Amino acid sequence: MSARSDGLVAELEAEHAVLDELLVSLSDDQWDLPTPARGWQVRHQVAHLAYFDWVGTASAAGDPSRLRAIREQSAGLRDGHAVSLMLLQSRLPMAPADLLADWRANAAALRETFRSTPGDPKVLWGAGPMSFDSFITARLMETWAHGLDCFAAVGREPVDTDRIRHVCHIGYRALPHGFRRARREMPAPLDQLRLELTSPSGQSWAFGPDDAPNVVRGPAGQWARVAVQRMRPAEARGLSADGALAKQAIEVARAFV
């Protein structure tokens, strides 16, 4: 694995630790609290992460059989929410301590697979083969997004870190996918858009060409939340958009499949 990938795994581990610190503090009753995702409790969020870390470990190790099993199990189901619920059935009845242990074990196995696999093989995933770096950042994005749901369920405010740079970047790169899912034509190519964001630590982050005529500006935390659809565009009052592509990008951003 490249030195760059090793650094990404350390950031993924740090994101796992944030969620772990929250979960270990919860009472059993709090695992049944509703989260912002309709019909999902805290246990659903953790079961989702545990399941897809388990699948991701096999795929990263070069064994795509678990992904094939998902496709076979979910054949004919078009609703992604229904597919997720179906795949989580074996974990949902677990006691909170057991579910937490299951997620920890799968998250640790995933990180170890990333660290012990030589080179930069392609990882078979939902949207197609991904580089190790892309897959690691995708798992970080998933952990952060589902962690937001868990924090919201128990009424606690998460603290953003500069690790959300990865989420912001995915949100930018995935905009063509977001437009397709929204069944909209992009008014201009992606290279006509630039993001100018302020990080949680006060740094300036930019994605896209310097001379792009369409620009989204504002707090990185708001763009990241819009991209993972944990904040409605109308709620992201710190974001401004210059140009038709920029305005529509905020409306359709979708950082996940």
pLDDT for 42-73, tens place per residue? 999 999 999 889 888 988 888 777 667 666 66
Q: How many whole angstroms separate alpha carbon 85 and alpha carbon 44?
A: 8
User: SS3 of 215, please?
Assistant: strand
Q: Answer yes or no: is pLDDT of 77 > 60.
A: no
Tell me, rounded to whole angstroms, the distance of Cα 197 from its chain centroid: 19
Confidence of residue 3 (pLDDT cuts 50, 70, 90): low
Among 89-103, 124-138, 231-245, which stretch is predicted with the lowest mean pLDDT? 124-138
Where are the chain's structural domains? 3-153, 164-252
Tell me what the mean pLDDT of segment 198-209 comes to.
98
pLDDT top residue among 128 and 108: 108
Structure tokens at 169: 């970047």
Which CATH code fits 3-153? 1.20.120.450
What whole-number percentage of the chain has pLDDT above 90? 74
Q: Which amino acid is at 103?
A: W
139 backbone dihedrals φ, ψ, rounded to 5°:
-70, -35
C-alpha separations of 89 from 52, 69, 121 in Å: 13, 15, 31
Q: Answer yes or no: is pLDDT of 156 > 90.
A: yes
Closest CA to 62 of 1, 112, 113: 113
Task: Domain 164-252: give its CATH architecture.
Answer: 2-Layer Sandwich (3.30)
User: Residue 190 in contact with residue 218, Cβ under 8 Å?
Assistant: no
* Residue pLDDT, tens place only, 95-127: 999 999 999 999 999 999 999 988 778 888 876
User: Is 164-252 in the same CATH topology as 3-153?
Assistant: no
